Amino acid sequence: MSEANDTIEITTERVKPRDAELQVTIADGGGPLVVLVHGWPELAYSWRHQLRPLAEAGYRVIAPDMRGYGASDCPPDVQSYDITALAGDVVGLIEHYGNGEPAFLVGHDWGSLISWPLSVMRPDLFAGVACLSVPYFPVAEQSLIDVLTEVVGDSFHYILHFQEEGVAEAEFDSDPIGSMREVMWLGSGEAAAQGEQLTAMDSAERTTMLHGGSHPLPPWLTQGDLDAYASAFAKTGFRGGFNWYRNLHRNHSLMSQWRMQPVKIPAAFIAGDADTVLTSTGEVGPEHPMLVNQAAMVPDLTVTMIEGGGHWIQQERPDEVNAALLAFFEQVAGGKR
């Protein structure tokens, strides 16, 4: 690995790794490739606190606006966002920016739902995988959509709410800055501490994900940050991100050959203990069902839980996330695992 460089320049360029052109943000420290994959509703901008520190530690770091987001292409049809397309974009970026050596893959939220499967499908490409917020769960007998339909019944669930084209778009597109303010606040550790955190499931009377409340900006999100997100979504709309959710059932079929497969490469899981992904399914601790299942399916696993951290953990607690990532990379690169 190259020596640390405190004069790292952050640049952007457009690349077409597969059938969609992506805008990629780059911080090149000269060493092993690190690919940062954002989730919903985010951008490469959500990795703004990771790019330079990881590059200064000697890594070549790239963060794309994934297809459907920001300055990248936003194909109109739903199937353009299935796991084959999304994973293909990441593989194409590795082919473009890598030097033939295994890369480190880092995902957050939906980025984890791309990164975990990729680590199973193409372990040859990766030195290690680090996922934030969403633990590993293997492809099971039923798709998540089928499971939710059975479990939820007449109640509201945001993932099912996103399935019908046009409904969630009308809700979010009408007020991008208000939508982003509410989502960012309700997913935060600060909202959890005040008992206001977003829940995945609610009563049958609920008909929208957003309630239009007036929420403060959490202390880790500036007005400039909010404006950056809102400006991007004002241009593209939210349809691209919703289309990722609309492929969950299709993805289950596409990945059937990897059903119940473990992750065999070194892996890290980093999350806040107030993340609604975890708190919605039980008290966060060693016996949490998602974490127990993950431990059984990921034998070479490092777990970092950040006290009080919410869903947007790399933005909320960047120093702790960066330290955990660098420790994991160094452990893997040093052959200590």
Which are the catalytic amino acids? 109, 311
User: Are the beta carbons of 324 and 270 closer than 8 angstroms?
Assistant: yes
Question: Could you identify the residue written with the tokens 């993340």?
Answer: 275
3-state helix, strand, coil in the chain (%, to 5): 45, 15, 40
Sign, CA dihedral 157-163-167-171, equals positive
Peptide linkage before 17 cis (omega within 30 of 0): no
Q: Write the DSSP string, 273-295.
A: TT-HHHHTTS--STT-HHHHHHH
- Among 15, 22, 12, residue whose Cα is nearest residue 48: 12
> What does the alpha-carbon distance between residue 102 and residue 111 come to, in Å, rounded to a whole number?
19
User: Are the beta carbons of 233 and 41 closer than 8 angstroms?
Assistant: yes
- Among 263, 262, 294, residue whose Cα is nearest residue 278: 294
